[in-house]
Amino acid sequence: MEKIALITDSASDISVELLEKNKIKLLPFKVIYSDGEYEDRIDITPQMMYERLKIEIPTTSLPSIEKMTNIFKEAIEEGCTHAIIITISAAFSGTYNAVRLVCEDFPELETFVFDSKTLTMAEGAMVLETAKLISEGKSFKEITELLPVYREKIDLFFTIDTLEYLQKGGRIGRVAGTIGELLNLKPIITVADDGTYRTAAKARGSKQSVSKLIEIFKGYLEKGKYKAWILDGYGMDKVQSLYDAIKDLPNVVECTIAGTIGPALGVNTGPGLVGIAIERVD
């Protein structure tokens, strides 16, 4: 009889409550300040990190090998025979490769490590869908075959107030640089099929950037039914504006404010992020 453990990293931005409700095990990123290390969402909350950004910009590192090892040991002690691990895009972090290496130390556990090629609630949506499939009694083989198909149904778009944090964190990739800052241009950033950032559009000012997100989402709704998760990176009133503008649109199956972007990701985007993870519903 199969018993499947479900594991994800904290870049999936799933709340602690949802993790517990869905029996999902968490690999927390480390948030490193001058006074010590904190585990994402365990020792440090998003609010704590955003407030402290005014004083110090921390660095981050992937979940520790010790934490990964302990989670696998815990799964085996609980009688699990299989484990599915869904990680942040390998283009942004070494977590995917590190987890694959740790899996080799546990031959008694059949594992599947899935590179989500995305992050935040786009990754989180895949994790929650996997939890649903496990609870419905789907087999390990069925779920691992469905995950790549499910990934094709999800897109992510977000805008930020400043590129400063992405630049400092080396995450800027192919996103437009400093000229946009001078002109108050706000990039609408998406994650491409290869798991890296791209600029999907540009808008002048915060209000226009929210309008652009609405316009992008309406384009999807013309093609079918969708779920939406609103991303809140201390985006304040912009988050509510986006939610109010799209929640009752035709073909919106579900619309949720997903909660606050966690410390490990928020460090690289800074305050003022608002975005949307979009899932096609067949």
What is the domain-level CATH number for residue 81? 3.40.50.10440
Cβ atoms within 10 Å, residue 147: 17
Range of the domain at 257: 154-281
CA-CA-CA-CA torsion sign (10, 11, 17, 20)? negative
Tell the burial category of 252 from Cβ atoms under 10 Å away from its Cβ (0-12, 13-18, 19+): middle
The last residue of one of the domains, among 102, 119, 151, is 151
User: Is position 190 within any domain?
Assistant: yes
Same domain, 265 and 137: no
Same domain, 144 and 164: no
Same domain, 107 and 239: no
Same domain, 90 and 221: no
User: Is position 225 within any domain?
Assistant: yes
The last residue of one of the domains, among 99, 123, 151, is 151
Helix axes 120-135, 140-151, angle to 10 degrees: 150
User: Is position 56 within any domain?
Assistant: no
User: Is position 223 within any domain?
Assistant: yes
Question: Considering its fold, how many domains does the chain have in total?
Answer: 2
Return the SS3 of 93: coil
Same domain, 134 and 178: no
User: Is position 67 within any domain?
Assistant: yes
pLDDT attached to residue 204: 87
CB 116 within 8 A of CB 156: no
Same domain, 233 and 270: yes
User: Is position 263 within any domain?
Assistant: yes
Return the SS3 of 43: coil
**What confidence tens digit (pLDDT) does each residue in 20-59 have?**
999 999 999 999 999 999 999 999 999 899 999 889 999 9
Ranges under pLDDT 70 in the chain: 166-183
| Rounded (to 5) percent helix, strand, coil in the chain | 40, 30, 30
Q: Report which of 210, 208, 202, 207 is spatially closest to residue 230, judged by C-alpha positions.
A: 210
Find tokens 């904290």 and name the residue.
Answer: 10
Same domain, 194 and 272: yes
Rg (CA), the chain: 19
**What backbone phi and psi angles, to 5 degrees, belong to 209?**
-65, -40
Same domain, 8 and 147: yes
Same domain, 163 and 268: yes
**What backbone phi and psi angles, to 5 degrees, belong to 97?**
-70, -40
The continuous run of DSSP H or E covering 76 comes out as helix 65-77
Same domain, 137 and 165: no
Same domain, 245 and 114: no
CB 173 within 8 A of CB 197: yes
Helix axes 237-246, 206-221, angle to 10 degrees: 30
CB 9 within 8 A of CB 27: yes
pLDDT attached to residue 260: 83
CB 31 within 8 A of CB 44: yes
pLDDT attached to residue 282: 87
The last residue of one of the domains, among 151, 181, 203, is 151
Q: How many CA atoms lie within 13 A of 234 on its CB side?
A: 21
Same domain, 123 and 167: no
